[in-house]
Amino acid sequence: MAKTTASAERAASSKPKVAKNGVKQARKAVAIEGAPAIEVALEAHDDRIRERAYGIWIAEGRPHGRDLAHWRRASHELLSEAR
């Protein structure tokens, strides 16, 4: 059992891993405990993007299969407005 715990601790370490392209990546995401404000802010941001993307979808005549393009456009528009 101790062996499993040690391997789990190594896997959860926050030391970055260097990918083949030279970019450092975290080995495992670390949960931020007691940070509900971050989650609420992210949900609100996603809601704004979702509403904008829906408007874009309606304006374009409700085309099938363009959801990702609408999401990206909505996200870009909201970022541009925030600047």
Percent of the chain having pLDDT more than 90? Answer: 45
Better pLDDT: 73 or 41: 73
pLDDT higher than threshold 90 for residue 62 = yes
CB atoms within 10 A of CB 49: 20
Find which of 11-25, 31-45, 66-80 is predicted with most confidence, using mean pLDDT. 66-80
SS (H, E, C) the chain: CHHHHHHHHHHCCCCEEECCCCCEEECCCCCCCCCHHHHHHHHHHHHHHHHHHHHHHHHCCCCCCCHHHHHHHHHHHHHHHHC
CB 73 within 8 A of CB 79: no
Span 79-83, average pLDDT:
90
